[in-house]
Structure 1
């Protein structure tokens, strides 16, 4: 059983499903509304737990009704919430998500997530030190992202940096990550480069090894000093792409001990399953579902 620590955000997703996205100033009748637990940190924690990992989450919730629901939901998924702070007089994070034609648009209000601190990361030193991998994203403060990278590096624990929402980071920070997992736009933003530049060139310029996600094209990955290899996507009928990246990152962390090519292959398969149902967590697979897909469709990494 892999031991994973996730440092990141916890949100309540407010999801509206519509036949298309409205134009600016337009009022459009939607088809469905629902509230779904989310946040990149919580999503990755749940996805990893469903894949059989022992998972601890470092994060923060408000003292509102959403905070209670989110905390109880994480516990029900088997996530250790010992290091999830409950903040008085503070709202829990929310994400307003519009879904149309298999795509999504998202507006995030961090609230309690903005108050996840480096001190919380340090307080989780013991559990981080025992972890097989640590996941961190950028819906929390950058000082806490930095603290996670530095602590993981000091303890010799691989830290996977999911740079979303993306912004430019110092090369020194990136050098502390075992892997960064951006899409092409996120990688360009991370490096302060032109998004139109060839992604292979961007990968070579990155200060750390990159696992680059490219949606329906699958993923590209490279160890330090090596040229990028390609993992094909697993074709599925897309219902909702929300949470696909979180599922990918979780699976990458859970299976990292099997070697990078195998971990990327399984991450692509898990991400494919995740988009076949509505909601960030609706399609996040369990181990048996992932094994079944891999048995039916097993594309080999392409050079």
Structure 2
């Protein structure tokens, strides 16, 4: 009977009895705050001409991605909770998996480009206007979208043509490729190597680029700055690294392990960090703590 059905069933995130309502309210609040932060950031960067720089252009793209990224999972999660239904159509599951992979990959690549931007601004300030021209910025964004969307399309088309004959219950709160593989009734060990390769290219390489870029930035800052300048640089770089590490480490742990080593409860907890927490923290860490951005906010309010 299950092999004839076309819908999937999402087990969901709320399975803790009396804690369900509390978790639901907490997620709705986090979602609302994340959307508000990112909307404000995008609008302010568009309105204030002083923020029309490569750094803020990339930040606006990051916020735009984060808004779509968190909207891919949370609305369906809350709708299922309110309607007491856990179903998602085959096509809906396929679309959700594709969009989530495409947005996640784009964000991973974009974070790497943003660290490269800061490296050029601090380590090569005289060449910065040429190396980070408007044309190059658009090339970075376009290449991130194109490569991640192509990767997501390939994985999605392959996974959803596999025979799902074991069960239709996805032990997750959204359709994600690793959570779908246990439902397939054929050997997927060879395919898991392609997931590992994609994870290395789209997740690990940008993360290594961020570590190398900030290492160079801190080296230059400590050579030319004293006192408060060094403290500010260390504070900024460390906060950026913490948020980036939260995103990359959690996604790498999901996409670089074979599905035989996955635990559904652990996967759900880890997924909360890169689906909800990261879009919530990105605007605060990268912009709202920036004095130039707060001055722009005051000018707009005035």
Greater fraction strand: 1
Task: Give the number of the structure whose alpha-carbon radius of gyration is greater.
Answer: 2
Instruction: Tell me whether the two structures share a fold, i.e. TM-score over 0.5.
Output: no
Q: Report the TM-score, using the length of structure 2 for normalisation.
A: 0.28
Greater fraction helix: 2
Q: Could you say which structure has the greater relative contact order, defined with CA pairs below 8 angstroms and 6 or more residues apart?
A: 2
